[in-house]
Amino acid sequence: MTWKSGNESTVRGYKFTYDGLDRVLNATYGETASISTNANRFSENVTGYDKNGNIKGLQRYGQLSSTSYGLIDNLTLTLNGNQLSCVEDAVSTAAYGTNTAFVNGASVAGEYAYDANGNLTKDLNKGITDIQYNVLNLPSTVSFSDGSTITYTYGAD
């Protein structure tokens, strides 16, 4: 997959590799039509899957400084069935200039919680302490640890 942005002449792209079950193993970034220049600057590697096909580990590469690139995330995902319960990042280096790296906002067993319908009700890594849903399972209120809230309203059309 390749693309160009706006008036830029640089072609950017990803090459994908898959395992025998057609699950993504790697997304290798590069530039030029052959995706070979500046290789791996923004690549991603799946380090494992569980028996249900859920990702257990993910490595992400990105910009570390104005001139260097490297590993920005080395994530270990813990699941309860098919629901994410915890994400830990073994890399503490922040990505340069953007918020593209995972922010490990909590290190507890129950970082994520769900209601009986499978809707996410808590994400401690994002500071979300509660999400309420309406009868259509659409989010109605999101509450944050700093006391702020977001309220959603929906029209009948």
DSSP 35-69: T-BTTTTT-EEEEEE-TTS-EEEEEEEEE-SSS-E
> How does pLDDT run across 111-130, given as a tens digit for each residue?
999 999 999 999 999 999 99
- The percentage of the chain sitting over the pLDDT mark of 70, rounded to a whole number, equals 99
pTM: 0.84
- Distance CA(146)–CA(157), nearest Å, equals 34
Closest residue by Cα to residue 60 from 87, 92, 83, 27: 27
CA angle 130, 77, 104 (to 5 degrees): 60
In the numeric block, which tokens belong to residue 121? 């009700």
- Band (27; pLDDT cuts 50, 70, 90): very high
> How does pLDDT run across 38-72, given as a tens digit for each residue?
988 999 999 999 999 999 999 999 999 889 999 99
